[in-house]
Amino acid sequence: MRSLRKWRGLATTAAPLVLGIALAAAPARADIIVQHSGNTNPSTEGFTNNVGGLPVYGSPSGSAWNISGPWCCEYDLYSLTSNNLSTLNAAATWTFTATFRNLSSDTGPSGYGPDAAGSYAVVGVNDIRFDLGIHSDGLGDQILSLDPFSGAPDYTITGLGTNPVTLSLIYNNTTHTGDAYVNGIEVISNYAGNTSSYIGDFVFFGGENGNFTNVELLTPTSSQPTPEPASIALLGVGLLSLCLMRRRRS
């Protein structure tokens, strides 16, 4: 009976540790608002094109969707709904990400702005616009621009050439600013967005010649971080040590 009471005590003491491990192992989830994936025709993903009623541009290109033509006018567009906007506004943050290759050799500038060249993925929420646009500098680098019309802020992606790159913008609904990332590394901070040129509520991607593997707008639905393996291992060692200590005492 005494031994049974000790094992019950062990279970009571260990329960928080087990619960901690279970909670720590719960991965962060995301709610996808808009997504283009691979070489899927964007017209089947909710995208259209709004230039004079012309059809959706582009065609499959390997594992990506290729769009080419004039910088201004060749793109696939998704108009955000009121429900989409409600979800985005209710989240602490939202993330816009695009993985693509800029195959255009145009270095700009154009009549639209100093960085209006190359390929791009664009998001507009509450009439605040963020561009993830890149264009060649003619020397093997690509220039990331968050506002092609003003030419700033921008960042040089050294040696990228025409290789694929993942660009992300994480917007904070408290600070009302966004941080830009190149392949997961933050390169531009606290950008408030463009509120003067071609604004609206949308996601669109295209340009002079771009291969788009992925374009997505999402919000987190769980703030629980994914654990580091070392953290889980530490909890496991602690639980094992507790079990052995209790067993020796009994």
Q: Is 23 part of any domain?
A: no
Q: Is 18 part of any domain?
A: no
- What whole-number distance in Å separates Cα of residue 206 and Cα of residue 71? 8
Name the token pair of 92: 């602490």
Instruction: Tell me how many domains the chain contains.
Output: 1
- The rounded mean pLDDT for the chain is 82
Residue 204: domain span: 30-220
Q: Is 14 part of any domain?
A: no
pLDDT tens-digit profile of 211-224? 999 999 999 854 33
CATH number at residue 36: 2.60.120.200
Confidence of residue 123 (pLDDT cuts 50, 70, 90): very high
Q: Is 20 part of any domain?
A: no
pTM of the full predicted structure? 0.77
Q: Is the pLDDT of residue 227 over 80?
A: no
Confidence of residue 28 (pLDDT cuts 50, 70, 90): low
Q: Is 240 part of any domain?
A: no
Q: Is 150 part of any domain?
A: yes
Q: Is 12 part of any domain?
A: no
Q: Is 237 part of any domain?
A: no
Least confident window among 24-33, 97-106, 140-149: 24-33
pLDDT (mean) for 132-146: 97
